[in-house]
Structure 1
Amino acid sequence: MSRFSNKVVVVTGGTSGIGLATAKAFVAEGASVFITGRRQEALDAAVKAIGGDITGVRGDMSKLADIDRLYDAVQQRYAQIDVVFANAGGGSFAPLGAIDEAHFDETFATNVKGVLFTVQKALPLLRDGGSVVLTGSVTGSTGNPAFSVYSATKAAVRNFARNWILDLKDRHIRVNVVSPGVIETAGLNDLFGGGAQAEGVKTGMVASIPAGRVGKPEDVADAVLFLASDAASFVNGAELFVDGGMTQI
C-alpha cells in the first residue's frame, strides 16, 4: 500500500515548480490532491499534467475569500484533510533604499498572511494527527543582497512552525518547514533574469553548493512527502533544508 492511500492532501501554489512536483508525488502515492493557482490556464494545464485523483481550485492565497473557496471545494467531497502543504509564495529583488510599500505589502500578503490563513482555515477539516508542511527558504537563515523583504517573510514562516506546534499539540498535528535552496524552477529563472543570464547565475552558485549541482523540484517533493508521512511521526517544528548543503557551510 502506498504511503498516502486514502489520504486527502492540499497543495497551494501547485501549478508549477515545487508545488507541481509535490502534487504529482502525492497523487503517485495514492492521495486525493487539491491544488491551487491564480491563473486558470496554468491550473488546467497542471491538472492535466498530474492526472489521477487531482482537483484544481483557482485562487490567490493572499485573499481570504479564495482560501474559503478552496476548503469549500474540499468539503464538498471529503470530510477531512490529512495533509496541508502551504507552498504558495513568491518574491522579487529590491535593495534597502528602493523598497516601496507595494513590494512590501505584496510579498508579506502572499508569503506570510497567505500561509497563516491557509493553515488556520484548514483547522476545522484537518484531522487530529494530521500534518502541515510550510515552504520556507534558505534565505530565512542567510543574508542576501536586495532580498531582505522576501527573506523576512521566510523567517516568519519558519517561526510559525515553532509556535504552531504548541497551539496544536493537543490535536497532535505536526508542523514542519521545508526550506529549498537553489532549485531549477521557472520562478527562479525569472527571478535571475531569465535565459542565459539566469543560467549564468545558477552556474556561479553551484560553487557554493557542496552537492555540486542545482536542485530539482522533485528533490523538495521527496522531503515534503517524508515530513508529511508516518515515517516523520516524531519530527515536529523542524526545518529541513533541501539545498545540497549550501546553508551548512
Structure 2
Amino acid sequence: MRFVAADASDLAGVRQLAADAEAVDILVSNASVMTFSPTIGQDLASYDATFAVNVRAPFLLTALLAEKMAAAGGGSIVNVSTTAAGFGMPGMAVHGGTKAALESLTRTWAAEFTESNVRVNAAAPGPVRTGEGGRGEGMARGFGHRWHGPGHRTQAHLHPGRGGPRDRRSCQGPGQLHDRRDRGRRRWPHRNLRRDRTMDRLAGKHALITGGTSGIGLETAREFLAEGATVAITGRSQEKLDEAARQLDGPLLTIASDAGDVPGQAALAARLREEWPKLDILMSNAADVTHLPIEAWTEEAFDRLLATNLKAPFFLIRDLLPLFSQQSSVILVGSVSAYIGHENATVYGAAKAGLLSYTRGLTHELKDRGIRVNGLSPGPTITNAFAPLGPERQAALYEELRQTVPLHRLGTATELAKAAVYLASDESAYTAGTVLRVDGGIGQLAY
C-alpha cells in the first residue's frame, strides 16, 4: 500500500494524481471540506473552496479515471456524501448542498457508465467519530487487509503500477485509487472474492428467515450458516422445508408456518422461544407476489396479499420482542416495485412500500431496546418464482426484465443474500432505519 500526498483543491494536482495511476479498479472520493457557517454572512471564497473539494475534484477524477476503468473492463466508484445532503441542518447549507450535488452526479454517472461496466454509488454516513486519519484511513485498512481476490491482495490508495518502494506519507487526496494487478484474472462482476480469515461474521447469532425454502430466502440461509449463525427457516410446505434442509449444512431449524396467517405469527414466536435462548436476526422475506390488473382483483386476494406482505410481518416483530437480544437486526425485504410503477404491480408495490416504511418508524420505536430495523430492496432477480410459467415463458420474461435494468442483467439470489449478511452482522451496527437497494440501478436511473 502506498500513500500519496495530494491537495483536492488543486486542479493540477488532481490531474497529476489521475495521470500517475496507470490502471484503477476502485475510486473512493472521500476528501471533503466541512464548513459550519450560516448562509447570512457566508463569504464567496469559503463557498468556492468547499465546492472545489466536494464537487469539482470528484468530477475531475471521475472524468479522468472512468475512462481508464472502462478500457480495462470495468470498475467501481464510491462517492462519500453525508446525511446532511438529505435534510436541513443549521450552518450546513454549503456542505450539505455540495454533497447533494455529488449525489446527483452519482446517479447521472451511474446511468452514463452502465455500458462500460463502471458502477457508481454513494455512501452517506451520519455523524461519525473518526481518529486522526479519518474515514479514508479506515477504508484503506478495509480494502488493504480484509478482502483479497484470486492471486493478489486487494489494496486501496495509489499503486504506481510499475512497482517501486512503498512509503507511508500522509494522504490528503480526493480519493483512494486501487491499482489493477494481475489483469488476466479480472472479471466483471467479481464472483470469486474470498475471505482471508474464517467466515464468522454471524458466529453465535440466531437468525429467523421467513420464506426460506427457495430463492433469496434459501440463499440467505446458506450464507448465514456459512457465517456461523444458527438459522431457522419457515415455509408453508413441509416437503419444501425438508428439501431445503437437505441442501443446507449447519445448525438449522425448519418450521412450517403460513406467512399470511396473522394469528399464526404468535405461534411461530412461541416455538422459537421454546427452541432458542434469544433471537439476533429476523429477515422478513416471505411474500405474496400476486400481480393482477385492477379489474381482476378481489377483496379476498387483496386482503391476503396485504396480510402476508404488510400485516403479518408487523405482528411477528411484536410477538418476537421478548426474544430479541440487545443487539438485534431486523431486515425487511421489500422490492423495487415500492419505488417504480410497472405492469399489474399496484397492490404488490403499495404493500412493499408500506413494509419498507416500517424501517423508519420501528427503528425510532425500538432503538432503545437495541433493535435496528433496515430494509433490503431487490430489483429483478433470478429465482424459481417464475418456474411454473415453463422454461420458454420464463426465459422471455427474464429477457423483458433484463432490458429494464441499467446494468443489463438480472440480480442473483446470492447477491441479495450477501447484502443481507451485511445488514445482519455487526458491520452494519451504525446502519438503522434505511433501505439497501440492490436493484441494478433500476430504482434510481432514468433508463
TM range (shorter): over 0.9
Distance 1:44 1:69 in 2: 20
Higher Cα radius of gyration: 2
Shift of 1:211: 2.1
Shift of 1:207: 2.3
Query: CA offsets, 1:9-53, max 9 Å, x none?
Result: 000000000100001110111111010000000011111111210
Residue 423 of structure 2: aligned partner: 227
Q: Contact (CA 8 Å) 1:86, 1:134: kept in 2 or not? A: yes
Residues 199 and 8 (structure 1), Cα distance of their counterparts in 2 relative to 1, 3 Å cut: same
Q: Tell me the alpha carbon deviations over residues 72-129 of structure 1, each in whole angstroms, 9 at most, x when there is no partner.
A: 3322232110000011112212112222112201100110112112211111101122
Residue 318 (structure 2) pairs with residue 109 (structure 1): no
- Cα displacement (A) at 1:186: 1.3
Identity of aligned residues (%): 36
TM-score, normalised to structure 2, is: 0.54
Q: Do the aligned partners of 2:262 and 2:307 also contact (CA within 8 Å) in 1? A: no
Letter in 2 for 1:102: E
Alpha-carbon distance in 2 for matches of 1:238, 1:136: 12
User: Does 1 or 2 have the higher relative contact order (CA < 8 Å, sep 6+)?
Assistant: 1
Q: Report the equivalent of 2:105.
A: none
Cα distance, 1:92–1:64 mapped onto 2, change above 3 Å = closer
Structure 1 pair 188/140, CA: closer, same or farther in 2 (3 Å)? farther
Cα-to-partner distance string for 1:165-209 (whole Å, 9 max, x where unaligned): 11102112110000111111111444xx33211211211222221
d(CA) in 1 for partners of 2:209, 2:380: 21
Paired position in structure 1 for 2:107: none
Asked if 1:141 is matched to 2:339, the reply is yes
Determine helix, strand or coil for the equivalent of 1:197: helix
3-state SS of 1:89 partner: coil
Matches within 5 A, 1:1-249: 2-190=200-388, 193-249=389-445
TM normalised by structure 1 equals: 0.95
The question of whether the paired residues in 2 share the 8 Å contact of 1:61 and 1:67 is answered with: yes
RMSD, aligned CA: 1.4
Asked if the contact 2:380/2:439 (under 8 Å) is kept, the reply is: yes
CA contact (8 A) 1:158 1:177 kept: yes
CA contact (8 A) 1:135 1:179 kept: yes
Once residues 343 and 402 of structure 2 are traced to their aligned partners in structure 1, the CA distance between those partners, rounded to angstroms, is: 18
Instruction: In structure 2, give the amino acid aligned to 1:56.
Output: T
Q: How many residues align?
A: 247
Deviation at residue 65 of structure 1 after TM alignment: 4.3
Report the 3-state secondary structure (helix = DSSP H, G, I; strand = E; otherwise coil) of the residue aligned with 1:97. Answer: helix
